[in-house]
Every structure is written in structure tokens, then in C-alpha cells.
Amino acid sequence: MTQTAQQLIHNASAQLNHVILGKPNQVRLALTALFAGGHLLLEDLPGMGKTTLAHGLANVFGLDYKRVQFTSDLLPADVVGATVFDGKTSEFNFRPGPIFSEIFLADELNRATPRAQSALLEAMEERQVSIDGESHHLPDPFFVIATQNPQSQSGTFPLPESQLDRFLLRVSLGYPTPEVERKLLQGKHGRGSLAAMQTCITQEQLIALQHQVPKIKMTDALLDYVQRLIAQTRERDLCLLGLSPRGALALIRSAQSWALIQGRDHVLPEDVQAVFVAVAGHRLVGRRETQGDQLARHILNTVDVIGGVRV
Amino acid sequence: MLDNDYQISRQVTYRGMVWLLAAQLIVMLPFAFNLPVWLVPVMLAATYWRIRVIKGHSAQPKLLVRLFVITLGVAGVLASDMTLLSLDTMVSLLLLGFAFKSLEVVKQRDALVVVFIGYFLVAISFLFSQSILAGAYGVISLIILTGALIANQQSPAQQLSQYATRSSLSTAALMLLQCLPLMALVFVLMPRFSPLWVIPSFESHAKTGVGDTMAPGDIANLSKSDELAFRVSFTDKTPAADELYWRGLVLNHFDGVTWSQLEHEYDTEDLKSELSFKQPWESDNIELRGDPMEYEAIYEKTGQPWLFTLTPTTRASGKILQLGDYRVMSRGDIQSSLLMKAISYPDAIRDVELTDYSRKVALQLPETGNPKSRELAKQWRAEAGSDQAYIDKVLDHYHQENYYYTLRPPLLGDSDTIDKFLFESLRGFCSHYSGSFVFLMRAAGIPARIVVGYLGGEWSESGDFVSIRQYDAHAWTEVWLAGKGWVRIDPTARVAPSRVEGGLEAAVEYEGSFLEDQLFSVRQFKWLDGIRAKMDAIQYGWKRWILGYDKASQANLLKMILDKLSSVPLAALVGLLFLGIFLLWFVMLGLMKKRSYEAYEHRLYRKFCKQLEKRGIKREPKQTATEFALLASQKVPDKADDILSFSLLYQRLCYEPNGTTDGQDSLKKMRRLLRQIA
């Protein structure tokens, strides 16, 4: 971990924290997802600053940014693009959709029909789009931020578990504290200051950081702890649906990424704990209507950090 | 987690129902051998119907339909060839109800009722058969029933797991296994009370064993069966093969064709009262001689009261009846295996004085019939001069003339059978020889009678016990001589000595008629003899120690244990037993092994936590080493340095990939810090 990299990350989060007031943890989780090469799901009520965060991220990294407002009449072609007939050349040309961007913001994803949702989610997983038998690669880095209203609201199509699994982290912003709210009301921060942001991490630097994440080391004692957590999510009395192996990989990748942001070359249990709710919350299905978040928190509170087998 | 009412009122799930039906079929199966055959299709049909209902092909039967089916079933039971209010009828009704109950199982409560009735039926099935196989089958039934019980108590999610069936089964088996020590303890120590009621007899069971009359041909039928009659083990000395005459009943009355016990028709109760009145057991009419022989017999279920003993048996245990003709009878019919201990004096003189009644019945002959034989008897008696000489002459006659031992004798017709046998056919087996011999004796004025029972038996491989089978059935005679009392004479021995020494198999070897009708008898296959003998020994152990474990055995065992042990070692033994059970329990719960799996640094850290807990700082499971160390160092400022260094060492050792190189050193330091904190 070079000093400059640490400096870069610090600058980035400082700028973001200026835009999204009072949510350093959520900002750090967003960066975690970005460095880990995963996608981010922001779930909150309308008007909590989801779009602002997405916008801020794009600005800080100087990335190409496009945004689509998902509605119930949105078609897959509106997202991924379509082949269009060109009258002059008499040829069919592929016109890329908004998804061909480095940061793609899918606003209110759960308002779109499952058909449109799955077009996006397929692109997220494959990192390419196939249209008329032709594959088109998406740019690298490719980072999807989807925002979603809580499903209890009317006119939404809840994402099925299999698609939720595609998102590395799910983060809720939540109401601001009174002090923060006061500052917001005074108008010095928030969306208005987006334009003042400067790019502080280049695309190359971002890719280099992303390559560093898998190299963050994990000891047996740490993996023991992770496995204890995973085993607990699979306890039948507790969860109907536990963490899949993909979920488990997401957990350690996120923990590594978090450790990187903290400037360490190894993962501590603290890192795992910091990302656990964001990783597991949308993947777990509890028994008796328990919210996944609550369940994840409960598991975190009951599983012992200490202990493990000496190999 | 869920309250009880909810559990009980829950619907039975598909899987729970399948479990229940499987358990029901398994429980009902053994009854198919003993109860009316039509119950089997009814049971299967009820199961099939219920399966259709759970698959949604049929509707749940309405009340009227159910009433109709039940009425039909009850009518069927009543119409079957069974006495009202007998055990068979009751069990049939219960089975019917059990089979139909599955049709209305909807709630979990109903499922519990079915399982509990199932347990009851498993117990009832032992009234019909008590063999080892039945025992093993009972255990399997119990496991499946308990599995069904568990499957019906699981939450739907648990049932969805792919291992649900295996887990229900293994849990059931484990639960029953855990009951085993308690079961053994209860079996050995629980006082054996005699039942307050008497189990009504099973009419569906044909009576087996020797009959109470003898016409020519009867014993030949028994010779066709290799079923076990009883087993005997001797305490100290074992008698020779030709001493093993097992006395069953005594036939005194001859009507010209058939020998029977009494002159008139009788049932078992009449017989018992008449015999105990007219021929009561008189111990002072015996002159004891020689050494006593102690033995222990286990009789198979026959549905008859006859017991088979060595002559004369002077003392015997249990609810038995000893009579003046030296037979021993059970007071009730033998409905389950019966263990009896007895003492016999084979050399004793029986009936020093012959009572008038005994003499009268031992000389009885029909008024007419068999003129040639009567003539012959008178002539020979006159020629012989003495009773003994006459007896020898008759026996020599059997020996020297062309008599022939066969299990396929010619038919003798309805009258003058003795004449036809003695002068025409000369072919027959024990009943022919003993019948004709007694006739000749009585015709000459010598008191004589026929004894029916078994002869010989097969020694087990180890020589511990003799097994007597139905084909060992035999009839011989007794003659009363002044000064000698009743003397056993076996005329068959004169014709076919091998019958006495080598058993029936040897006697009819040349003829090949041994068990010839039993195509599938194991006895037909010589190469199976070894296995058969082993099985026999196991069966004997089962009968002797499990089924035969009664009040007396219990008292003996306890006395033996208590005599050997004074109270201190006994208490120690019981204590050890309980300790063993608890240890086993701990191992099963996994409490013993959990800690030892943990690496040393984690164990050190737990000690560290324990030390701090004494100071009132408890670590939550979620707290990481750093968090906890910071918290603790604030609360215990004077040890703050040690706490922080310990925690740092632990964290390095555990989580830093390069921190493990000086592992031993760190551990040493941690130990030292731990001491300082303490």
C-alpha cells in the first residue's frame, strides 16, 4: 500500500463526505463496492440522497456517467441499446444504450418490469451485452449503482433473490441527524456542491486499486470467523435462505476492499463486521418475516469473533 | 418458540402423512399372519385411499362415508369366524380402527393419536409371537413410529431439507438407543407382578403337540413336523439318550379303536378336577431311590396344558398340577413360552401300593373285540407262569417275529385293530406297538397303561440343552408289578432299538420317510445343520433369559448380586453406571470435544476474557480483540498496558499474515502477560 494510494482514497472520501453529509460509513461502503469490482444497491426512501451519492462517485473518479430512470414502460432496448437501420449506408448499425458507460445509475430499479430489470442484471453479471447475436463488451471499469425504493411502496416489482445476489453490497442511507439536516437546510452542501467536485482518482489509478483488493491477506483465524458467520446464516432455525458460496465470496472480497480503504494489507475481523450487514442483508431470507438486515445484525451479534482451529 | 396450541392444531404435512402411513403399514404387517386374511386388503386399501387424498385425487371422506366404512368393517369382524369378546376380535377391531384412522388424520393431534396407538399395537403384537425375529421387527417398528412422531413435529422448513428423512430416522434411532440403559434397568429390576386379569385365549392358534387321545396313526402326523416342542437343560448330570422319556399324558381307556384319558367326553377343566379327585398326587406312595436329577425346561406355546417331564418328577416350580399318574400339567393352557424347574428321581419306585381306582382303570378293556388277541394273551400267560415271564415272552415275540417299524403302516379298519396288527400286518410304529402291548397285558390281568410324550431329543452343539421337536413324539407303556411299582416298558424298542438310541431319523432311515412331506424343512439339508444348531442356541438363550425372566429368575439374580456384593461395592457399581451414562451423554452432546479443538492462542485468549470477567468486564461475542482491549483498559487503568499488549499480541498472531513467524515467542509473552493481569 503506497502512501499515494492511501492519500487518493482519503481525498476521494473527503470530497464525497462533503456532498453526502454525515454518512461516512455509507460512503466508505460505496467505495468498497467500487474497489471490489462489485455493484451497489442503494435502498432507501425517495429523497434521501441516493442519486447524489451516485453522481458524486462518478464525479470523484472522473468516470463516464449515465443515468436511466427506470419506469414501468421501460424496455430492455432503452437500457442496452438497439440495432438501427441507417438510410444513407443501407446498413444496420448498433446504437449502444446508456449502459455503455463506466458508471451506470439505474434509478428506482424496482419500478421497471422484470423484463427490463433482467436485461440490466444480465449485463451486470456478464459485463457484455448480446444483441442480434453480436456481443458488445462493456467498458472497464463498469460499475452499476441501482437505487431502489423499499418494496412496501406501491407500483414496484420486487427483485427476486437471485437478482439481488448480483449486487455486492446493499446500503441504506437513512435520515440525516438534526445537525446535518440543519447544514443541508442552510444550503451549503448537498446536490448543489456536486458541480464543485474535482476528479481525484484517475481511471488507471482506480483499476490499479481494484487489482490490489484480492491481494489483501487473510489468515486462518480470520477465515474461521468468516466461516462461522456463514455457517450461522445456514442454520435452519434462523434463516430460510443462507449465504450462497457466491455470497461468501462477496463477503471476503468486500472485507478485503474495506481493509484496503483502511490502509491495511491484511483483513481484521473488524473489516468483516463492517461489511457483513451490507453483504448479507439482501441475501438472507429470514424465517417469520424477519428483515434480512435485522437477521444479519443478529448473526453478527451472536457469533463469537474469537476461536478457531490451528492448522 | 411456537406455542403448544399452535403446534397441536397444525395441519399434517404431506411428508408427515407419508411417514405416518409407512409406520402404520409396518405396524400392521405382523398381524396379517394371525388375524383374518381380509384385513390385509382393507389395511392396504385404507392406505391407498389416504395417499390418493393427499395427492388430491380423491376428496377427504365425509362423515357418512366414514360411518359406512366403519359399519362395514365391524360387520366384517363380527362375521368372521371368531368368538365375540375374544382377544382376536378385539385386536381385529383395533387394527381396523387404526387403519381407518389414517383416513381422518388432518390435524397434527390426529397424527399423534395414530402414533400412540401404533406403539400400543407393537406391544400387542408380542401376544402373538415372542420370537427373536418378532423382537427385532418390533424394534424396527418402534424406530419407524418414533421417526413418524418426529417428522410430524418438525417445522415445514425442516421437512423441506433433503436430509429430513434421514435425520428423522437417525434421531429416532438415537432416542431409542438412549432409552436402552433405562430399559435394561427396568427389565432387570422392575418387580414382576402377576397380571390382574387373564388374557383371553387365542382361538386362531391351532393347538399343537400331542393330542389327548391315540388312535393308530396319530403320532405319525406329529412325526411330519420339525417344530420345536420344548428345550431342557440339566443342572449337573445329564441322562443317557434312552432315559429321556418325556412323560406327557397317560391313556387308560380303550374303546376298541382309540385310547383316551377318561371313559367319557371331557374338557380340560373336567379332566383336571376328575384326575385330581380320583388320582391325586401322593408323595408317600413313592419310594425314593438313587440320585435326583435337576432340570429346567422351556415349553413352547401350544395352547394345551400338557407339560413333559421325566418320570417321576417329584417337585416342579410354577403354576402346575401334579397328579397321581405322575404327569405334570400346567394349570392353564400354555399361551406363551413357559419356564419350569423340576427335580426327578428316575430310580424311584412308583405306586408302592396300587389304589383300587388305579387298578380298575389300568385293567379296563372293552367287553368285546379282538378275540384272537385275548385268546393269545390267556394262553401265553398260562404258559409263562409268572407276570414277568409273560412280559418277556410278549416282548420277545415283537423282537423275533417279523415286525417292522414304519411310518407308513397299512390302514387297520374300524374294529379288531389289535388283532389285525398282531396277526396280519405286523407293521407299525410306537402307537401300534404300545397299544397292542397294553391290550395283551390287560387281557392277561396285568395293570398296564399307555404313556404319551416325547422320546429323546437333540443335544445342542455345546451340550448345554436338549431340543425336543414334534417328530420326537412317542408312545410307550407302563406295567404295574408288585414290589416294583410302575415299570416303564417300551415295546417299540424291541422292534426298532434305533428309535430309542438314535431318534426317529435313524429309525426310519432305510425308509426315507423322515419329514418326507416337509419339502422346505431345514432338516432336509444336511449342510445347513451347523447354522441350524447356532440359531437354535441363540433361540434358546432368548427364551431362557429374556422371555423366561420371571419373578423367580429376578429374585435369584438379585440374590446372586447382593450376596456377592456388600453394600459399598454395590453403591460404587451403581455410581459408576450413572457416571458412565453421564459421560456418554456429554460425549454425545459434544461438550467434551469442543474446547480441545481450539488452537492454543484462542484458549489463552479465553482465559484472558475469564480473568477480566472476574473484574466485571464481560466480552460480548461480537467484540473484536481491539474493541474489547480498549474497553477493558479504560475500566482497569492499572493493568491497561498489559491488557493492550496482550490483545495486540493476540491480534498479530491471529490476523497478521507475517505475525506468526515468532509464534512460540508471542505465546510465551501472552502467558506472562496473562499472569500479570491475574
B416 carries an active-site annotation: no
B490 carries an active-site annotation: yes
What is the model's pLDDT at position A173? 85
Nearest CA in chain B to A301: B622
Q: Dig out the grid coordinates for B627 from the structure.
A: 474493541
- Check whether A39 has a pLDDT greater than 80: yes
User: How much is the average pLDDT of A239-251?
Assistant: 87
- Check whether B564 has a pLDDT greater than 80: no
Alpha helices in B38-131 (DSSP H): 39-55, 63-79, 87-101, 108-128
Amino acid, single-letter form, for residue B494: R
Local confidence band at B204 (pLDDT 50, 70, 90 cut-offs): very low
Q: Which residues of B touch A309 (CB under 8 A)?
A: 597-599
What is the model's pLDDT at position A311? 41
Residue identified by cell 427373536 is B132
- The CA distance from B259 to B438, in Å, is 11
Mean pLDDT of chain A: 85
Residues of chain B whose C-beta is under 8 A from some C-beta in A? 157-158, 161, 597-602, 605-606, 609, 619-627, 651, 654-657, 660
B171 by Cβ neighbours in 10 Å (0-12 / 13-18 / 19+) ranks as: middle
The predicted-structure confidence for B644-663, as pLDDT tens digits, reads as follows 988 888 888 888 877 555 67
Higher pLDDT, B301 or A231: A231
**Interacting residues of B132 by C-beta distance below 8 A, sequence separation 6+:** B538, B539, B542
Output Rg (C-alpha) for chain B, integer angstroms.
Answer: 37
Exactly one of B253, B416, B430, B472 is catalytic; name it.
B430
Q: Which of A199-208, A250-259, B204-213, B262-271 has the lowest mean pLDDT?
A: B204-213
Residue pair B293/B343 in contact (Cβ under 8 Å)? The answer is yes
- The CA distance from A13 to A18, in Å, is 8
Higher pLDDT, B352 or A272: A272
Higher pLDDT, B160 or B178: B178
The predicted-structure confidence for B392-402, as pLDDT tens digits, reads as follows 999 888 888 88
Q: Which residues of A touch B162 (CB under 8 A)?
A: none
Residue identified by cell 430309542 is B500
User: How much is the average pLDDT of B48-61?
Assistant: 81
Q: Do B655 and A219 touch (CB under 8 A)?
A: yes
Q: Which residues of B touch A273 (CB under 8 A)?
A: 622, 624
The predicted-structure confidence for B440-458, as pLDDT tens digits, reads as follows 999 988 999 999 888 888 8
What is the model's pLDDT at position B526? 63
CA angle B669, B672, B676 (to 5 degrees): 135
- Check whether B5 has a pLDDT greater than 50: no
- Check whether A20 has a pLDDT greater than 50: yes
CB count in 10 Å sphere of residue A220: 16
Local confidence band at B116 (pLDDT 50, 70, 90 cut-offs): very high
User: How much is the average pLDDT of B556-576?
Assistant: 77
- Check whether B6 has a pLDDT greater than 50: no
Amino acid, single-letter form, for residue B3: D
B474 carries an active-site annotation: yes
Q: Do A306 and B161 touch (CB under 8 A)?
A: no
The predicted-structure confidence for B121-135, as pLDDT tens digits, reads as follows 999 888 888 888 888
Local confidence band at B270 (pLDDT 50, 70, 90 cut-offs): confident
The predicted-structure confidence for A195-235, as pLDDT tens digits, reads as follows 778 888 888 888 888 999 999 999 888 998 999 899 888 87
Which of A305, A309, A311 best probes binding to B when mutated, by most B CB atoms within 10 angstroms? Answer: A305
What is the model's pLDDT at position A2? 59
Amino acid, single-letter form, for residue B388: Q
Strand order in the sheet with B338-344: B313-316, B338-344, B293-299, B228-234, B465-469, B458-459
Q: Do A266 and B656 touch (CB under 8 A)?
A: yes
What is the model's pLDDT at position B217? 55
Q: How many residues does chain A have?
A: 311
- The CA distance from B161 to A174, in Å, is 37
Q: Is the ipTM of this complex over 0.90?
A: no
Local confidence band at B39 (pLDDT 50, 70, 90 cut-offs): confident
Higher pLDDT, B628 or A156: B628
Q: Which residue in A219, A221, A236 is closest to B157 by CB distance?
A: A236
A261 by Cβ neighbours in 10 Å (0-12 / 13-18 / 19+) ranks as: buried
- Check whether B205 has a pLDDT greater than 50: no
What is the model's pLDDT at position B7? 47
User: How much is the average pLDDT of B459-466?
Assistant: 79
What is the model's pLDDT at position B514? 67
How much of chain B exceeds pLDDT 70, in percent? 86
- The CA distance from A166 to A37, in Å, is 12
> In whole angstroms, how far apart are CA A114 and each of A76, A122, A156, A160, B637?
10, 12, 10, 9, 59
CB count in 10 Å sphere of residue B134: 14
Q: Is B416 left (phi over 0), alpha (psi -120 to 50) or beta?
A: left
Query: Domains in chain A, start-ordered, CATH in brackets?
Result: 3-212 (3.40.50.300), 216-311 (1.10.8.80)
- Check whether A67 has a pLDDT greater than 80: yes
Most confidently predicted of A230-244, A293-307, B457-471 = A293-307
- Check whether B513 has a pLDDT greater than 80: no
What is the model's pLDDT at position B660? 52
Amino acid, single-letter form, for residue B211: G
Local confidence band at B181 (pLDDT 50, 70, 90 cut-offs): confident
Nearest CA in chain A to B624: A305
The predicted-structure confidence for B627-648, as pLDDT tens digits, reads as follows 899 988 888 888 888 889 888 8
Q: Which residues of B touch A218 (CB under 8 A)?
A: 657
- The CA distance from B494 to B489, in Å, is 10
What is the model's pLDDT at position B162? 61
Local confidence band at B619 (pLDDT 50, 70, 90 cut-offs): confident
Mean pLDDT of chain B: 81
Local confidence band at B207 (pLDDT 50, 70, 90 cut-offs): low
Residues of chain A whose C-beta is under 8 A from some C-beta in B? 217-219, 221-222, 236, 240, 265-270, 273, 287, 300-310
- Check whether A6 has a pLDDT greater than 50: yes
